[in-house]
Amino acid sequence: MMIDPIQWNAVWLVEKYLPDCDEPYESIIIPGNLLVTGGAGGLWNFLNGNPATLDAFDNAHAMLAVDDSTAAETTAQIDIQAVTNRKFKAMAATYPIHSFSQFDTATKSIIYKSSFTLAEANYAWNEFGLFNGPDGGGALMLNRKVAALGTKPNTEVWDLTLTISMA
């Protein structure tokens, strides 16, 4: 009997920019995250052909969220944990990126990206996740990661990128 295990791989990237600079002065790669129960259920719902009950994780709905909570990750969580110092940010233009081909292994991944401007999310970035809607709107959280990324000052733009792949 052949066993075909599926492995969920998530890699987060934070790129920190000084004003008027095209290249980041620092890039941090954070592997892994927790696929939460609600997010897994949402994926199965889409695969089962019932997307009408959920908004897609597409450019019109997907948001990356950051906050300053250091609460441990659990699969039962349905939201990022901070009450204040939290920001949901829409996708950058053209994101998420995914191209389909039955024969190209690059199609096993999807990339989400949000850019946090000078005035946004100026606090310690300790937690981040992917949602299919805005804060307070009953959005579904797909995944969550807790890691200290530094404190974003109001003099910098930080880009947060999530690449999810299956192998």
1 within domain boundaries: no
3 within domain boundaries: no
In this prediction, residue 52 has a pLDDT band, given cuts at 50, 70 and 90, of low
Boundaries of domain holding 18: 8-166
2 within domain boundaries: no
Tokens for 88, please give them. 């949901």
159 within domain boundaries: yes
> Which H/E stretch holds residue 111?
strand 109-116
Domain count, the chain: 1
Cβ–Cβ < 8 Å for 73, 145: yes
Tokens for 112, please give them. 């989400």
- pLDDT of 74-94, one tens digit each? 999 989 999 999 999 999 999
- pLDDT of 98-157, one tens digit each? 877 777 766 788 999 999 999 999 999 999 999 999 987 789 999 999 999 999 999 999
108 within domain boundaries: yes
Cβ–Cβ < 8 Å for 121, 167: no
Q: Check residue 10 and report its DSSP letter.
A: E
C-alpha atoms less than 13 angstroms from C-alpha of 27 in its C-beta half-sphere: 7
Separation between Cα atoms, residue 147 and residue 68, nearest integer Å: 10
33 within domain boundaries: yes
125 within domain boundaries: yes
Cα four-point dihedral sign 166, 132, 161, 35: negative
